Chain A
């Protein structure tokens, strides 16, 4: 798993590639928690390059989303592919989160 971050206006764009599984999910969660600690409130998680996510990854996403909500922030997503898209659908995450096709579409909302 690799994480890259950039700032677009008030949105922290977080590109995550590779795999978020039970081994890498804690690193993912820690990385995003640090951004919350640094005062970031709006996260766009870009998943174009994410090949795989398991329930451990979803658990981390949910944990971060809950913290962001208490700070009146939010987390949105873009570019879900193949198996990642399926996992979001089956888990219901596709309904509880806002998901855009592309980063561009997502950033237009701000």
Chain B
């Protein structure tokens, strides 16, 4: 597998979701992940993007940059960058998934999915931007669900 990098910049709004997911999928589909893993990756990208679309730029327009990188040994890194409000998604509390319908709160699940499903998630600030990296250790990793 060759070293490969592709990037896209979209307006930070819900209307960009479909285009963004299509961009990531067209990249990941070539890497040999099974359909279940492809779907999990799509899910994580959606969760991160929707969070940015909803909260990063309150009351003003903004942009999100998405880049996909695959290394020769198979590691896939999806880097999502915004210049909105500083926010480390990794610092958010996990939802209590044992609560009943009545007690269960709406929200917090998206980021929890990202933490559960990706092999590694890294956040840092760079040039006043939020940089989040979703990292997959290649296609052959066993990933038990739950």
Q: Is the CB of B109 within 8 A of A95?
A: no
Q: Is the CB of A66 within 8 A of B102?
A: yes
Measured CA separation A23–B104 after assembly (Å): 23
Q: Is the CB of B43 within 8 A of A23?
A: no
Measured CA separation A86–B109 after assembly (Å): 13
Contact pattern, A 61-77, Cβ under 8 Å of B = 1, otherwise 0: 01101100100000000
Closest chain A residue to B106 by CB distance? A59
Q: Is the CB of A59 within 8 A of B109?
A: yes
Across the A-B interface, how many residue pairs have beta carbons closer than 8 Å? 75
Q: Is the CB of A83 within 8 A of B43?
A: yes
Q: Is the CB of B39 within 8 A of A96?
A: no
Whether B107 sits at the interface, judged by CB under 8 Å, is yes
Measured CA separation A56–B146 after assembly (Å): 19
Closest chain B residue to A92 by CB distance? B97
Whether A38 sits at the interface, judged by CB under 8 Å, is no
Measured CA separation A55–B106 after assembly (Å): 9
Whether A7 sits at the interface, judged by CB under 8 Å, is no
Determine the chain A residues whose CB is within 8 A of the CB of B65 once the complex forms.
none
Q: Which of B35, B42, B97, B100 has the most CB of A within 10 A?
A: B97
Q: Report which A residues bind B (CB closer than 8 A).
A: 21-23, 51-52, 54-56, 58-59, 62-63, 65-66, 69, 82-83, 86-87, 89-92, 95-97
24 A-B contacts (beta carbon < 8 Å): A21-B46, A22-B53, A23-B14, A23-B17, A23-B18, A52-B39, A55-B47, A55-B110, A62-B101, A62-B104, A66-B101, A69-B102, A82-B39, A83-B43, A86-B145, A87-B113, A89-B145, A90-B112, A91-B97, A91-B112, A92-B97, A96-B101, A96-B104, A97-B101
